[in-house]
Amino acid sequence: MLIQINTDDNVSHSNTLMEWIETTLTEVLERFADQVTRLEVHLSDENSDKKSGGSDMRCLLEARLKGRQPVAVTDAAPTVEQAVDGAVHKMRRSLDSTFGRLNKR
């Protein structure tokens, strides 16, 4: 499962953060590794033009599935870490639902 991380110009992207994101995605979604070819992470600061704001960090997470349409989820939170954590758990629920329906056929 290939992981690709993209950020806008307003999101700091240290090596530590990138490693944490990859580790988190791999650990939470490891049971889907055979069905997911690529995970694309898009991080953005939705309120970069304002000094403060509530949930201004956004994580869009897209899973490319073997032989299926991609699945995408999004989460917004005050920090990048919280947005990624929210999105990866939404993705796990979405993939559970997607593959659960396929197995019931």
Give the per-residue pLDDT at 10: 80
Domain that holds residue 96: 2-103
| In the block, residue with structure tokens 């960090």 | 57
Q: Is the pLDDT of residue 4 over 90?
A: yes
Within 30-105, residue ranges assigned H as helices are: 80-103
Number of folded domains in the chain?
A: 1
β-strand partners of 69: none
Question: Cα(88)–Cα(28) distance, rounded to whole angstroms?
Answer: 7
Model confidence pLDDT, tens digit, residues 8-28: 888 877 899 999 999 999 999
**2-7 and 36-45 strand pairing:** parallel
Q: Return the CATH number at 87.
A: 3.30.160.100
pTM for the model:
0.86
Average pLDDT value over all residues in the chain: 88
Secondary structure letter of residue 93 according to DSSP: H
pLDDT in tens, 45-65: 887 656 555 558 999 999 999
